[in-house]
Structure formats: C-alpha cells, structure tokens
Amino acid sequence: MKTIILAIGNSLRRDDGAAHRVLELLESQSGVFTRSLLQLAPEQSEEIAPARIVVFVDADIEPGPPRIERLPRGDPPPRSPLAHSLRPAEVVALARSLFHFTGQAYVCRVPGADFSEGEGLSGTASRNAIRAAELLRDLLYTPESR
C-alpha cells in the first residue's frame, strides 16, 4: 500500500462530516486506499503501518482556509484524555512504536461553520471540502509524488 487516506467525522453533526465529502471528491487512484471513520481508535495504528504516506482528513472548528500539515516525526506521543478515541498524532505514535510504521503522516484540516445535529454541509464546509480535495490531489496525485 502506498497511501492511505482516513476521513474522520460524524456526518450527523453537519460540518463534522466534511472529511467524508472530501473523499467523495477524490478520484480513485491506484495505490491509494481510502476509509471513512467516525473516530480514530487504536486499531488504526496497525492499519496505517504498511503505508508510505498516511493522511488524516478531519473537520476543523477553527475558521480559515483548508490546510495540510505534516505530523512531525519522532515527537513524544501526546496523551489523550479520553482513550476511547485517539488523535492522529497518537495513532501515528502507536503505529511507529508497535507496528514499525516508517512513513510520512499528514493532517488535512477542513474548517466548518455548523456542527449542530443534522445532515448536510454548510456552504463554508462545502467550499472548503472542494479546496481540501485540490490540496490532496496536489500532494498525492502529482507526478512527483507518485
């Protein structure tokens, strides 16, 4: 497996499901495995281990443009106050320490505006999902990234 993209969020909390929309916008590509999740759990550390690149796509409550940030390698693992779900950095830390993950990890943040109960994205999140998909294409689908 070359690349794995994990979209995280609850589509019943409107913009929290923005990551899933990003996955819908991405064309299928050889070597790229995608997965939609409600939340990250410890077993994702084993799932990402074989990948060269892993990208966590997640909605962001902070306003601003969508962005992709590289998770730093080698940092001590941050602690999670509620271990029933993990943060991307924690999944990566477990993958490195337990399952020999050596790839690069990124977080793609998709800012939203409405996280209330209900379905459908706000205009802000819809626009940001389109832009986030473009950023991911640039990162993963350009000739130099292959």
Site for other proteins, rule CB under 8 A: 12, 37-39, 41-43, 45-46, 77, 79-85, 90, 93-94, 97-99
- What are the C-alpha distances in Å from 12 to residues 38, 57, 78, 131? 10, 17, 28, 22
- Locate tokens 């590509």: which residue? 29
State the nearest-atom distance from the C-beta of 141 to other proteins, in Å. Answer: 27
Closer CB to other proteins, 27 or 84, in the complex:
84
Closer CB to other proteins, 97 or 145, in the complex:
97
State the nearest-atom distance from the C-beta of 58 to other proteins, in Å. Answer: 16
State the nearest-atom distance from the C-beta of 35 to other proteins, in Å. Answer: 10
The burial of 42, by beta-carbon neighbours within 10 Å (0-12 exposed, 13-18 middle, 19 or more buried), is given as middle
